[in-house]
Amino acid sequence: MDASPPTPTPDGDDALAALQQELAQTRAQLAKAEKRLKAREGLLAGLSQHVPGVLFKVVVPPGGEAQLHYISERAAELYELDAQATGLDWSAHYHRIHPDDLPLVQQLSREIADQEGKLQQFEYRTILPKKGQRWMAGQAMAAREGPDGSTAWYGYTQDVTEQKLYAQALIDARTADQANHAKSEFLSRMSHELRTPLNAIIGFAQLLQMDRSSVFGDEHRRRVNLIEKAGQHLLSMLGDVLDLSRIEAGDLPLSIESQDVDLVADDALSMVGALARHSQIRIDTHGVGSHVYALADRVRLRQVLVNLLSNAIKYNRAGGTVQLRARRAGSEVLIEVQDSGIGMSPEQQAQLFQPFNRLGVEQSGIEGTGIGLVIVHKLVSLMGGRIEVESQAGEGSCFRITLPAADSEPEVTDQIPLSDGDLFARPATILYAEDNEVNVALVHQVIKLRPHWRLLVAMNGKRALEVARRHRPDLMLIDMHLGDMTGLDLATALDAEDATRDIPRVALSADAMPDRIHAARAHGFKAYLTKPLDVMALLRCLEEALPLDGPAPPSS
């Protein structure tokens, strides 16, 4: 008879249902695990592709060689490896490491494997086919893994070349800043030490030439004139060196405003007039006079013109001419200085703006430092302009300056014109704070040229403050280095008291550095004169700084 299939019992149905449910749960768990695995694989792939460096795992079996278990995809880019041709293995990147750094990297690999749990930092150079030398840096940590005692170390490496270059740039900038500061300090001291004796040489020479008594004959006056000229030449060289140093250090203040080129040219022409007459050079100024306005610093533009005009005179021939022209061309102003002098060869023109290069005229007997035109070139550039030269040996030269044109006239100055009579006759008491006896003697002689002025002297800052309290001078002439304090310290002390706060003050110092001049202006000084002093300039400055409402002149 046929066998019939077994009839399921109630207990069998329950077991089958339980088995099916368990199977469904297992399938669901596997699906979740697979989903999580895919998510982690996606995360790992994203890290491998997008982290700006290389992630790696290296396993070192006991007594064996390091084996690469994982390295992220950017390794090929980081080390410029051909992964498709050779595959990525741990030894491949060794071929890129700088030969001088390779022993250290190999030693570090052994140290990482021997020091479980310790974070190791490393840095080395690579030589890449396309990028050249690059700096790599990273971190790694070792951990024991597997029953055989293998060591696995996990790490990260990245290209830090830009960070290294930036850090080095910061160090270089800091070093340059310190060097510039030291240079400025040296120049300040050098300027002070050289200007102090020059102050006596030039100042007393000027006073002797102004003496119209019969004590000195013409020969004596000629000798005194030579003394002053030698002193002025030394001062000019000192000023050129300081100017060049300030420009290179970026420490030359400029006030770019609308300037009337004709007025600046008049100032420059008055300063070179004596040289032109002595050299028998005629200066043609028919090319100026149309009131051309340029954007420039007035003092520095005058310095540029004086330098170019002086060179045009010095390197000219007896009976020669110098032409000065200025005109507006669109948005620019052109200023030309042309001479009929010795001119320059193409080789000389190529070296024209090199510092201390006198272009082979050292033996000509013409005074110069070889940096005047360098300063002119830099000043014109700082004022937003440019300079060009056309020259032919034996036929003269033409220097052409181009500056931005100004769209408005210069502002009218509010300075009160000086009266040659009233101010000279007005009595005034001037207190001079100075610790150098020679400088005191020189200023004493200068003040004698104004019979109605009285000079009080204080040899240090403390004494100057006491005299100012007691006598209330009409004006104070203050040196910046007084032994017991600086001129700025004295100004602060004067400002602290009602009785002395409003006394006008003028600085007279051998310290010609810009930061000192700015600081004096900020402390209320009306003017800052530098030594060596110009006798007439000092007198004009004192006359201008003295209050106009001072005591009336004595009645006759």
CATH code, domain carrying 184? 1.10.287
Domain termination residue (choose one: 214, 248, 282): 248
pLDDT tens-digit series, residues 39-82 = 776 666 666 666 678 888 888 887 777 777 888 877 888 888 87
Cα–Cα distances (Å) from 275 to 265, 269, 372, in that order, read 16, 10, 17
β-bridge mates for residue 56, sequence order: 71, 155
Pair of tokens at residue 211: 């003496």
Verify that 114 and 196 share a domain, yes or no. no
Structural domain includes residue 449: yes
Structural domain includes residue 14: no
Verify that 132 and 226 share a domain, yes or no. no
Verify that 291 and 384 share a domain, yes or no. yes
The stretch 524-535 carries a mean pLDDT of 86
Domain termination residue (choose one: 159, 186, 204): 159
Question: Buried (b) or exposed (e) across 47-58, using 16+ Cβ within 10 A?
Answer: ebeeeebbbbeb
Verify that 155 and 173 share a domain, yes or no. no
Verify that 508 and 443 share a domain, yes or no. yes
Position 554 confidence tier, pLDDT thresholds 50, 70, 90: very low
Verify that 269 and 395 share a domain, yes or no. yes
Domain termination residue (choose one: 227, 248, 269): 248
Verify that 261 and 377 share a domain, yes or no. yes
* Percent of the chain clearing pLDDT 70 (strictly above): 83
CATH number where 446 lies: 3.40.50.2300
Structural domain includes residue 91: yes
Verify that 447 and 494 share a domain, yes or no. yes
Gap between the Cα atoms of 186 and 394, Å rounded: 42
pLDDT of 4: 59
- pTM for the model stands at 0.49
pLDDT of 255: 83
Question: Which amino acid does the sequence have at 198?
Answer: L
H or E, element range at 458 = strand 453-458
Structural domain includes residue 553: no
Pair of tokens at residue 47: 């890290």
Residue 311, Cβ neighbours under 10 Å: how many? 22
pLDDT of 184: 65
Structural domain includes residue 135: yes
Verify that 243 and 261 share a domain, yes or no. no
CATH number where 132 lies: 3.30.450.20
The DSSP secondary structure of 259-305, one letter per residue, reads EEHHHHHHHHHHHHHHHHHHTT-EEEEEE--S--EEEE-HHHHHHHH
Q: Average pLDDT of the chain? A: 81
Structural domain includes residue 556: no
Structural domain includes residue 41: no
Total domains in the fold of the chain: 4
pLDDT tens-digit series, residues 326-371 = 999 999 999 999 999 888 888 887 877 776 665 555 455 455 556 7
pLDDT tens-digit series, residues 122-168 = 899 999 999 999 999 998 888 888 778 788 888 889 899 999 999 88
Task: Give me the domain span that covers residue 200.
Answer: 166-248
Does 283 score more than 50 pLDDT?
yes
Structural domain includes residue 410: no
Position 418 confidence tier, pLDDT thresholds 50, 70, 90: very low
Q: What DSSP state is assigned to residue 103?
A: H
The stretch 195-201 carries a mean pLDDT of 78
Verify that 121 and 187 share a domain, yes or no. no
Verify that 478 and 350 share a domain, yes or no. no
pLDDT of 430: 94
> Are 284 and 321 a contacting pair, CB within 8 Å?
yes
Verify that 97 and 171 share a domain, yes or no. no
- 177: Cβ–Cβ under 8 A, 6 or more apart, which residues? none
